[in-house]
């Protein structure tokens, strides 16, 4: 079983994906971490994440073992990620890894949950279940501020809002694999749901789709 979870920044899809993977005993891939790692690798090499040559070189030679999750979860990494993600050559370089993960999930699992922006549309268009997770901009900003504060990052809320809005716009407007729900995706708006409620609704939806 392949479950595709897409949606904008801080919509709650990461937490939801992890919990669904555990509940259904599936492997989990956070595809945003591939773009974040490419962005951070470009910066570490002294390159510019918005420049095609720099970003594509980083994507083609990506070694995920060189990154800790703390390196990847900063706002700076998120911004660099959405810059490299805009470049078609970067997306092409990361596609095989994602499709291979879905087709041959690690650890003997019989399926996978992938979360990102284009899983239901490009990476796994034949996924058994597609969920597009939404939430209002204000809800998402509040969640991201809390997440960064809990990590001890010194943040300014207005800056987080501006970065997130710029990132949403870049993700929606790009020509290749823009952030858009697949035609057959179920929309889950988590603006007024906590993590437990979102999980319960998504789990019920998956069971309704997969039980015959
Ligand atoms: O956690 P958050 O939702 O803020 O971001 P993320 O899922 O880690 O993704 C970071 C950036 O990578 C996004 O803003 C997208 O530009 C890009 N991305 C993408 O283009 N396609 C994906 N499948 C996953 C992420």
Note the pLDDT tens digit of each residue in 23-66.
999 999 999 999 999 999 999 999 999 999 999 999 999 998 99
User: How far is the C-alpha of 38 from the C-alpha of 46, rounded, in Å?
Assistant: 13
Whether residue 78 has its Cβ less than 6 Å from ligand 1? yes
| Atom of ligand 1 lying closest to residue 13 CA | 3
Note the pLDDT tens digit of each residue in 70-121.
899 888 898 899 999 999 999 999 999 999 999 999 999 999 999 999 999 9
Whether residue 85 has its Cβ less than 6 Å from ligand 1? yes
Q: Give the per-residue pLDDT at 35.
A: 97
Distance 9 CA to ligand 1 centre (A): 7
Nearest CA to ligand 1 atom 10: 32
Distance 128 CA to ligand 1 centre (A): 22
User: Which whole number is the average pLDDT over 131-153?
Assistant: 92
- Residue 212 confidence class, pLDDT cut points 50, 70, 90: low
User: How far is the C-alpha of 56 from the C-alpha of 93, rounded, in Å?
Assistant: 7
What Å distances lie between residue 87 and 36, 126, 190, CA to CA?
Answer: 13, 24, 29
> Rounded to two decimals, what is the model's pTM?
0.92
Hey, which CATH number is domain 2-210, 2.130.10.10, 3.40.640.10, 3.40.50.300, 3.30.70.2190?
Answer: 3.40.50.300
Distance 140 CA to ligand 1 centre (A): 14
Cβ atoms 194, 19 nearer than 8 A: no
- State percent of the chain over pLDDT 90: 81
> For 130, how many CA atoms within 13 A lie in the half-sphere containing its CB?
20
Whether residue 38 has its Cβ less than 6 Å from ligand 1? no
Q: Is 51 exposed, middle or buried (0-12, 13-18, 19+ CB in 10 A)?
A: middle
């Amino acid at each position: 079983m392949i479950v595709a979870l897409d949606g904008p920044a801080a919509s709650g899809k990461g937490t939801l994906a992890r919990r669904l993977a555990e509940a259904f005993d599936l492997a989990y891939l956070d595809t945003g971490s591939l773009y974040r790692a490419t962005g951070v690798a470009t910066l570490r090499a002294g390159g510019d994440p918005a420049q095609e040559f720099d970003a594509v070189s980083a994507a083609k030679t990506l070694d995920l073992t060189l990154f800790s999750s703390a390196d990847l979860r900063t706002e700076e990494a998120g911004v660099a990620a959405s810059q490299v993600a805009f470049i078609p050559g970067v997306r092409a370089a990361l596609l095989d890894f994602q499709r291979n993960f879905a087709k041959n999930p690690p650890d003997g699992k019989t399926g996978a949950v992938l979360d990102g922006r284009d899983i239901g549309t490009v990476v796994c268009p034949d996924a058994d279940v597609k969920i597009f997770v939404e939430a209002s901009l204000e809800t998402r900003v509040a969640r991201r501020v809390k997440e960064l504060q809990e990590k001890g990052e010194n943040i300014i809320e207005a800056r987080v809002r501006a970065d997130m809005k710029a990132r949403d716009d870049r993700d929606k407007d790009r020509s290749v694999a823009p952030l858009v729900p697949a035609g057959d995706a179920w929309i889950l708006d988590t603006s007024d749901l906590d993590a437990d409620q979102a999980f319960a609704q998504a789990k019920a939806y998956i069971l309704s789709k997969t039980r015959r």
